[in-house]
Chain A
Amino acid sequence: MSNVRETRGTGGRGNCPAFAPTLPPVPTLHLPRVAHRGSGNRRRTLATFIIAVLLLVAVVAVGRLLATSNPFAAAPTTAPAALATDFTAKNLPPSLSHPFGTDWMGRDMFARTLAGLATSVFVGLLAAGASAALALILGTIAALGGRRADAVITWLIDLMLGIPHIVLLILISFAIGKGFWGVAIGVALTHWPNLARVIRAEILQCRESVFIAQARRFGASPLRIVRDHVFPHVFPQFLVGLVLLFPHAILHEAAITFLGFGLPPEQPAIGIILSESMTYLSAGYWWLALFPGIALIATVLLFDRAGSNLRRLIDPYRSQE
């Protein structure tokens, strides 16, 4: 510390002879934000994205199949694999024939989990899609609809973010009623504020740009400007925001179902499985909670992977990372 003060005192600012010998021969003016470690391969990023999407599609397809039919059963008339009960094989720990074990009604937990994941992904897709559309519309109106519309929507966003998420979900589920639509609408209505904020900021920035001003000079109508210039500009943000909404939507669907507000008990859902497993925890049936949870985490991570890889592909600021 002291020697620095000394230099500052004695040496002038223009020529600093005390510093010159210690400086590196070529000063580093810019350090890359992220060290290149083979991650700059866009093809690999694209491959990761596609694999993640394919895996998700596979999970949903198999889950739907298990929830509606039973490919393993001998007789074609038996119940779907996810619901088939077998009281001779109840509360079995995981084994080769039942990888996730069985529950107190002898249902195979692997089939139940996959069927539940399919439901969760479906609700997540529906809710995240609706939520993102809502965000796009409200964000656009806020940015382009004049001062009053902006004030109203910004205020609405602040209001939504001012109430904890779960409490808001409970309120909406209380208003609409439980069941599939209750959850889907609840999740859709609560997840738009963050994305709407991003889109609003993005459009506000784009509105000031030269090409919009030019289009306006050429006499393009506001609708045409929005369609031809603004939407293409915010589309990457929108797409990434949409994909990154899925994990949140799925987790909140599971959480609200777990609390008892969401899907009904007869529907296969991860939240239902986990809340039922709570009764059997003290009996030591750990597999009832462990594996469905891990499967849910894996699904959420897949979505997250897909989203961040997509962002890397289409976000020009990050495309070289």
Chain B
Amino acid sequence: MLRFIGGQLFKLIMLMVAVSMVSFVLVSLSPIDPVQMNVGQVAYLNMSEVKRAQLAEYWGVNTPVWERYLHWAQSALQGDLGMSLRYNAPVTQVIATRFANSAALMATAWLLSGVFGLLMGIAAAVRRGGWLDRFIKGYSFLLASVPTFWLALVFLIVFSVWLGLFPLGFSVPIGVSPADVTIAQSLHHLVLPALTLSVVGVANVALHTREKTIDVLQSDYVRFARTRGESTASIIWRHGLRNLALPALTLQFASISEIFGGSVLVEQVFSYPGLGQAAVTAGLGGDAALLVGITLISAATVFSGNLIANLLYRVIDPRLRPTPRGMSGRFLSKTAGAAHE
């Protein structure tokens, strides 16, 4: 176990170093002149040549990339990711507040799409070829081609403009100070973005779960269970879910990356002040430090998702638990147990 944690920690560090290097190089390749971007067009034109050179020095225009990267990495190790240009605050602080907003949105969408996707996939597989299966399959195939941001726009038109059920955007009512916002109000603003993300996210999970469930239902142990006269419900409950648990988990935690990407688009449509919106603002506004910071946090989020999935495998499936001895014996008895119980 200790070895496993050490290995994962090493992988995370390597990933962070690589991601930060790649994003740093990409950001510094940018054709945007940092001096001009940071002081603004008008101020830049009115500025004396000396002042411009001074600022160029300050923003490190003439220092090579690797030197700037080392500087950045040095302070990054001390928890300082630089200052955000657009938000006029330390990058870490911007990311922290934004991440809290996004996390609520993403976690809701992630849970909803996971649970409903699993249920829909199993239902479709059990009723394979029937109208329910065709409906779920059609829905999933269609939704896989629907751009998230377009669906967000349609939801806005239907639920906010026509029906007036939900607010047009933002995470809090306009004109209310953040301290006075009630939980109900926050939830009210969260519903539509989360719904959009879940409705899109369900498609992928349902299709994959359907495939896996069909595999399980065609296995020998399910045929054996049928000959014993077990009902479909009991087969799904006793044999299906156990064998579906691992692929479902993999899928669910791999979808974090998708949900993150979707949240960038959805937050933009709903003006939801989350990490995704900050990424867009940083990208459009030439805020290099913030963009690098967001790339790092997004890569770390995806990595933790995979790590959690890896850890959960061991909890759920005893076969994957490293045992010092008697491994093969346990392996056999467990598989036999799963098939006959």
Contacts and interface: CB of A to CB of B under 8 A. Distances in A.
B156 A281 contact: yes
A306 to B, nearest CB: 13
Interface residues of B, number: 54
Interface stretch (A44-52, A253-261, A313-321): A253-261
Contacts, number: 142
A281 B161 contact: yes
Interface stretch (A78-86, A204-212, A296-304): A296-304
Nearest to A31: B218
Name B's interface SS.
helix
A278 B100 CA distance: 26
A293 interface: yes
Contact of B161 (A33, A259, A282, A297): A282
Nearest to B268: A259
Interface in A82-117: none
Contacts of B228: 4
Given A167-B295, A278-B269, A304-B145, A289 B279 contact: no
Contacts of B32: 174, 177
B199 to A, nearest CB: 14
B31 interface: yes
Contact of B129 (A19, A35, A173): A35
A297 B200 CA distance: 13
B265 A259 contact: yes
Contacts of A261: 283-284
B14 to A, nearest CB: 9
Name A's interface SS.
helix
Given A170-B291, A174-B30, A163 B299 contact: yes
A167 B26 contact: no
Contacts of A293: 147, 150, 153-154
Contacts of B31: 176-177
A159 B161 contact: no
A174 B26 contact: yes
Contacts of A296: 147, 150
Nearest to B153: A289
A88 to B, nearest CB: 26
A143 interface: no
21 contacts: A22-B227, A31-B218, A33-B218, A159-B19, A161-B257, A163-B302, A164-B261, A164-B264, A166-B265, A166-B279, A170-B280, A174-B32, A174-B288, A176-B31, A247-B145, A255-B148, A255-B265, A281-B156, A289-B153, A297-B142, A297-B146
Interface of B: 15, 18-19, 22-23, 26-27, 29-32, 128-129, 141-142, 144-150, 153-154, 156-157, 161, 168, 214, 218, 227-228, 257-258, 260-261, 264-265, 268-269, 276, 279-280, 283-284, 286, 288, 291, 294-295, 298-299, 302-303
Interface of A: 4, 19, 22-23, 31, 33, 35, 37, 159, 161-168, 170-177, 247, 251, 254-255, 258-261, 274, 277-278, 281-282, 284, 286, 289-290, 293, 296-297, 300-301, 304
